[in-house]
Amino acid sequence: MCGITGFTGEVRALPILLRGLESLEYRGYDSAGVTLVSDKGLVTEKQKGRLADLEASLDLDAHSQTTGIGHTRWATHGIPSQLNSHPHTNEAETISIVHNGIIENYQTLKEELIKKGYIFHSQTDSETIVHLIDYYYQGDMMEAIGKTVKKLEGSYAICVVTTEHPDEVYVAKSQSPMIVGMADDGTYCASDIPAILEYTKDVIILEDGQMAKLTPHSVQILDFECNPLKVEFTHIPYDMTAAQKGGYDTFMLKEIYEQPEAIRETLRGRVEHGKIVLPQLDSIDMSDIQYVHLVACGTAYHACLYAQSLIQQWLDRIVTCVPASEFRYGYHHVDEKTLCIFVTQSGETADTLAALKMCKEKKGKTIAISNVLGSSISRIADETLYTCAGPEIAVASTKAFTTQLVLLTLVVLKLAEKMNKAPKDEDVILADLMRMPKIVEEMLALDGTMKKYADFLQDQHDAYFIGRQMDYISVQEGALKLKEISYVHADAYYAGELKHGSIALIEENTVVIALATQPEVAAKTISNIEETIARGANVILITTQNQEAPGFKNIIRIPDVHPVLANIPVTVLTQLFAYYGAVLKGRDVDKPRNLAKSVTVE
């Protein structure tokens, strides 16, 4: 996820580009850059780090150009650096581009271009785009872009300028957002509405397979064959804060709804032709490993519990899952035959970093899973794998967690392959993983149902989540989410343990969220749940398509999916339940009391 701005008009472009990037910095902050264009040439300035670092390096009064493009980067290919920052230019410095998305076949394209004599200066997939445009350009920039995008596989929103047409900006998009707008002083483009809302509220939201040509006083929309299209402007009725939320009431709800795309991006390039591609694990020799430790905090700890269950099923190794705050003070064996996996959304969690450093001191092999490229944990661990959730602004984690589950599934499967212990139905699991974005979309379609069930919390101060086996992991996360944002006291229990004391808490109208998605114990779980119904509980049952559940009034059935992956669609439902429970209680959903997004102290 990156931020793009573009402008051509009758006023200075640089302040508009920087202002737009400022409103988009939530989309990426590894580096930032701009290209300004005139008939005298391109001026490209870029800096590793935050947008403020770029602004500090610029003499704002020295640039009078009225056309330009800008970019703030969330790195996917290549570390944050000056060379990897956008914009990228061709060798003659006559064409400059910025790109949001991932080009899956960039390596093949790069090899073809190198054979044609093109020189690459960065590690990015994006640089292939500018060289392809250069290769195809014969005087008609839209034709060159059209030919280029037909070669690209993956997701992209592209913004292009050239010295040969210094008052024009060109865009194209597929699977990544791009909008254009027009005002009296010029035309604008951006990857999100907030970047241009200050200047115009009339925008065109480009569809996949569309391109646009912007001049100071016109916008022309074309398809990839360069055929003109008639497209209407849409009036945006909300203000800047609402625009950053994309029309959602809160960042948390927006991020819940971003999960299909976040999962899609996390999977991109990591499963090819039914095979897992994780070169970061090539150096791990599992024949040398006796112990596996999974270490994390909060929601990330629940992701580790999920990975622990997979390891117990598929790997013949001793595995523990320990909260990072406890790991250093417990008696956990670590030596050169120990693999330690650390999971953290921010990459800066103090307890997790301290545990990692201890494992390094004891010669353990270390893998980090994070959502922030260049974070502290990535600089310390032997290997780092990144989720591609994009920035999370709401304090309560949603899309970071589900992408952790997806990536951890691939990690454990790959480790099992290295031991020749891959499950016999691995192909089914991978196929269902690739379907997961669509499955999550189906869960999001149940938004209204979860809102209705959240009304059960109206006069309640307590709620209970119950499940067995892998469902117990989901209920722990579901209970945590409800506590975090609604302040409703919520506990998670093994369903089979209810009768050993906890059932004393169940009374008339007590809210119980019960999961029964694991086939080997689902029937037993159903029996356990019936004990709460007999005592007057309001039970919400989440189960599979074919599970018999006579006598239950409130049932949600998840799509058919391999049982080890059921945690993902279930999590989306419990997120929605917690969200609407918090709204019902009038809570500040994005900023729950006493909590911080990244806990950087022990």
Residue 481's CB is within 10 A of a number of other CB atoms, namely 28
Angle subtended at Cα 74 by Cα 72 and Cα 14, rounded to the nearest 5 degrees: 5
Contact status, residue 62 vs residue 116, Cβ threshold 8 Å: no
Please enumerate in sequence order all residues whose Cβ is within 8 A of that of 81, keeping only pairs 6 or more positions apart, or say none. 31, 48
Q: How far apart are the first and last CA of the chain?
A: 30
Residues 188, 203: Cα–Cα separation, whole Å = 9
**2 carries an active-site annotation:** yes
User: Identity (one letter) of the amino acid at 375?
Assistant: S
Which one is catalytic: 451, 585, 591, 597?
A: 597
Q: What is the 3-state secondary structure (H, E, C) of 264-277?
A: HHHHCCCEECCEEC
User: Identity (one letter) of the amino acid at 175?
Assistant: Q
What the block records as the tokens of 421 is 């212990």
Contact status, residue 135 vs residue 143, Cβ threshold 8 Å: no
352: phi then psi, degrees, rounded to nearest 5 = -70, -40
Which one is catalytic: 2, 159, 189, 304?
A: 2
Residues 282, 27: Cα–Cα separation, whole Å = 31
CA distances from 151 to 22, 271, 478, 582, 600 (A): 32, 21, 43, 47, 44
Nearest alpha carbon to residue 199 among 15, 462, 338: 15
**359 carries an active-site annotation:** no
**Known catalytic residues?**
2, 597
